[in-house]
C-alpha cells in the first residue's frame, strides 16, 4: 500500500533540499514519542545509509539511493530481520511551487498500516516548517555559522540541540568523557580540561551535570554539586584563556526557591531559599571566570521541559495515557513549562544574539497551575484525570526535601528578558506544545 503526505514551506527548493543534507536532519525529523535512537546518520543522500536502533536490539538500516538533487531522494529498509516482515520504500520529493516556496511530499510504499504513519509524517512536516522558520528568524538577527563545543550531548536536551545546531549550519564538537568516537568528538576531563580542548572553538554550550531528580540523600546532594560547580568553573576558565566568544551554561528555575506563592518571577527576582537555590547560585557564579575574561556568558534557567523522550513528561505520559493521571495534592502549584524545541531555540539564540547576557529564564510565556496542566494533558491524550495524587506519594519516593524542592515546587516564572527582545515562541501555550511532541494533532 502507499501513503502520501504533502505540505508547502516558504523556502526555495535548493534550500529545502540542502537542509536535509546537513548533520542532524534525521534527528530533528524523528518524533520524540517513537522508541528509536539514531545510531548513525547518512553522509550521502545518494548512496549512504542511516541506522536507527529500535527496542530488543533491532536495527533499521535505511539505505539511500536514487538521489536527484534538489528534486528527490529515496531510502529503503535493507536490514534483517526487519526487512523480512516490513516492506519499505520512502521517497522524499521536493517541487518548486514558486521562486521562494516548495512543496514537500513524503511518499511511503509499505505494508505498514497507514494509520501508524500519519502522525509521524504530520510531525515531520510541522517540525521542518518550524525549524526553517526559526532559522529564518535567526538569520534575520545576524546568525553566522560558528564552531560550537557542547557538553552533555548525550542527554535529552543535548542530543536535540546538537541536531538543531547542525541543521542551522554550525560545526558541532561534542566534549565527551569517554574515548572520542569520531572527528567531531574531543575527550573532556571535567576536573582538569586539556589546554587545547577548545582550540578553534568560538562558543561553548555547557549542559553536563548529574540529574537533580531523586531522593536528596547526602550522596545525591554531593553528586549534584560536584558535577556542576567545579567542572563549570574549570571550563569557564579555559574558555577565557582560549578566547572563546560566548559561554552558554545550563541553569535552573530552582534559583527562585520551592515556593514563592503567586509572585511573578523574572530574571531580576531575588534568589529563593533551599538546597537547589543555593546550588544554582553557585553554579551560575562558577561561570564568572569566563565573564571576567571578557566572554559573553548566558545562564539559561530552565523550566519543566516538555518531551516524552525525557524528564517529567516521560514519566507522566504512560500514566495519563492509561487514564491514571491527575493533579498533585491541591493542584495549585505553578508549573513553568517549556516545549523542548522552544528551549533549543533559546540556547541557539544565546549563541548569535549579543543582547543576551547573564540569567535568562528558559520557560514559556504562559505558566500554568498543576491542575490546569493535568487537565490539558488528559485532554490531549483523551483520558480522564480524576486520580488526585496525595502529597505523601512524592514523599515516599523523594523524601520530604526532594518532594518539596521538586514535585511540589511552585514557581510562577516568566521569560521577561526574552519578552523584552520580542522573542518568538513556537508554542506559547501548553496544549499545542503537548500535541506536537506527543503526536496528537
* 385 vs 271, higher pLDDT: 271
The reply to whether domains 2-139 and 141-438 share a CATH topology is: no
**Residue ranges per structural domain of the chain:** 2-139, 141-438
Residue range 423-437: mean pLDDT, rounded: 98
Angstrom CA distances, 340 to 41, 91, 210, 363, 366, stand at 22, 28, 19, 10, 15
pLDDT, tens only, 355-400 = 999 999 999 999 999 999 999 999 999 999 888 876 666 676 677 7
Q: Structure pTM?
A: 0.96
CATH (residue range 141-438): 3.40.50.720
99: confidence class by pLDDT, cuts 50, 70, 90: confident
- pLDDT tens-digit series, residues 135-185: 999 999 999 999 999 999 999 999 999 999 999 999 999 999 999 988 999
Domain 2-139: CATH architecture, name and number where available: 2-Layer Sandwich (3.30)
Amino acid at each position: 500500500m502507499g501513503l502520501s503526505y504533502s505540505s508547502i514551506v516558504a523556502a526555495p527548493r535548493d534550500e529545502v533540499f540542502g537542509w536535509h543534507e546537513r548533520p542532524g536532519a534525521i534527528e530533528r525529523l524523528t518524533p520524540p514519542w517513537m522508541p528509536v535512537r539514531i545510531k548513525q546518520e547518512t553522509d550521502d543522500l545518494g548512496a549512504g545509509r542511516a541506522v536507527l536502533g529500535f527496542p530488543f536490539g533491532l536495527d533499521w538500516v535505511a539505505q539511500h539511493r536514487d538521489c536527484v538533487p534538489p528534486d528527490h531522494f529515496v531510502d529503503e529498509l535493507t536490514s534483517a530481520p526487519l526487512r523480512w516482515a516490513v516492506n519499505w520504500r520512502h521517497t522524499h520529493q521536493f517541487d518548486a511551487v514558486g521562486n521562494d516556496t516548495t512543496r514537500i511530499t513524503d511518499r511511503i510504499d509499505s505494508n505498514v498500516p497507514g494509520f501508524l504513519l500519519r502522525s509521524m509524517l504530520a510531525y515531520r512536516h510541522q517540525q521542518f516548517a518550524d525549524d526553517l522558520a526559526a532559522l529564518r528568524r535567526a538569520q534575520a538577527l545576524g546568525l553566522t555559522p560558528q564552531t560550537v563545543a557542547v557538553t552533555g550531548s548525550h542527554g535529552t536536551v543535548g542530543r536535540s540541540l546538537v541536531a538543531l545546531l547542525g541543521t542551522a549550519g554550525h560545526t558541532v564538537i561534542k566534549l565527551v568523557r569517554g574515548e572520542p568516537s569520531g572527528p567531531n568528538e574531543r575527550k573532556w576531563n571535567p576536573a582538569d580540561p586539556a589546554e587545547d580542548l577548545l582550540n578553534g572553538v568560538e562558543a561553548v554550550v555547557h549542559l553536563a551535570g548529574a540529574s537533580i531528580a531523586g531522593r536528596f540523600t547526602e550522596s545525591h546532594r554531593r553528586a549534584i554539586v560536584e558535577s556542576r560547580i567545579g567542572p563549570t568553573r574549570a571550563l569557564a576558565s579555559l574558555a577565557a584563556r582560549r578566547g572563546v566568544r560566548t559561554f552558554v551554561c545550563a541553569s535552573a528555575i530552582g534559583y527562585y526557591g520551592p515556593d514563592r506563592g503567586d509572585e511573578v518571577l523574572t530574571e531580576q527576582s531575588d534568589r529563593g531559599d533551599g538546597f537547589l537555590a543555593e546550588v544554582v547560585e553557585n553554579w551560575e557564579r562558577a561561570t564568572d571566570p569566563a565573564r571576567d575574561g571578557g566572554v559573553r556568558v548566558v545562564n539559561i534557567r530552565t523550566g519543566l521541559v516538555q518531551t516524552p523522550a525525557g524528564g517529567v513528561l516521560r514519566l507522566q505520559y504512560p500514566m495519563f495515557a492509561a487514564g491514571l493521571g491527575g493533579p498533585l495534592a491541591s493542584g495549585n502549584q505553578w508549573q513553568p513549562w517549556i516545549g523542548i524545541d522552544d528551549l533549543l531555540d533559546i540556547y541557539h539564540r544565546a549563541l548569535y544574539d549579543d543582547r543576551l547576557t547573564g540569567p535568562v529564564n528558559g520557560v514559556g510565556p504562559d505558566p500554568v497551575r498543576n491542575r490546569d496542566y493535568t487537565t490539558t494533558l488528559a485532554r490531549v491524550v483523551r483520558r480522564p484525570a480524576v486520580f488526585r495524587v496525595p502529597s505523601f506519594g512524592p514523599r515516599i519516593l523523594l523524601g520530604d526535601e526532594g518532594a518539596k524542592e521538586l514535585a511540589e515546587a511552585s514557581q510562577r516564572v516568566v521569560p521577561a528578558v526574552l519578552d523584552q527582545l520580542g522573542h518568538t515562541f513556537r508554542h506559547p501555550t501548553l496544549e499545542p506544545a503537548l500535541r506536537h511532541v506527543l503526536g496528537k494533532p
